[in-house]
Amino acid sequence: MSTVVKTITELVTPILEANNFELVDVEFVKEGKSWYLRVFIDKENGINIEECALVSDQLSEKLDSCDPDPIPQAYYLEVSSPGAERPLKRPRDFERALNKYIHVSLYQQLNGSKAYEGTLTGLDDTELTLEYMDKTRKKTVKINRKQIAQARLAIKF
């Protein structure tokens, strides 16, 4: 975790806790010539734009009062919902995704594939079970959590 992400996580957590919001993710990335600080937040039944603006305003105030500035370069602050394809990072995220359609990318191939999309039908501390379609056949795969590069909710078409 970068020092910027760690610092922002520490600064935004009390704001979110005071409003019963949840931190989904923090990114600090360079795109083209510009830097972006993205804070993804959520709550049960979803987050709205006014709530994102509230967190953005309060976080901006905190950042402006920090000395020394934790982010010396110019950047754009974006506070938003994680969207329909919310990332799954923490154990709690996976628990909430049980019986939902997800996408999983792996570090290495498993049974000839580095990505799976299907319904999360089971999980424990070491692996998850995914039910997916292989052409017209329903299959099941067990994936060790250490093999997962990224996971997110997915939209089934």
pLDDT at 41: 96
61: domain CATH number? 3.30.300.70
Residue 85: inside a domain? no
- β-strand partners of 39: 26, 79
Parallel/antiparallel/unpaired status of strands 127-134 and 137-144: antiparallel
pLDDT at 1: 55
Domain extent at residue 61 = 3-80
pLDDT at 95: 92
Q: What is the pTM of this model?
A: 0.78
Among residues 80, 113, 137, which one ends one of the domains? 80
CA angle (45 as vertex; 42, 50 as ends), nearest 5: 60
Answer yes or no: do 138 and 76 share one domain.
no
Average pLDDT, consecutive stretches of 10 residues, N- to C-terminus, the chain (157 residues): 87 96 93 96 92 97 90 94 90 92 96 95 94 93 95 91
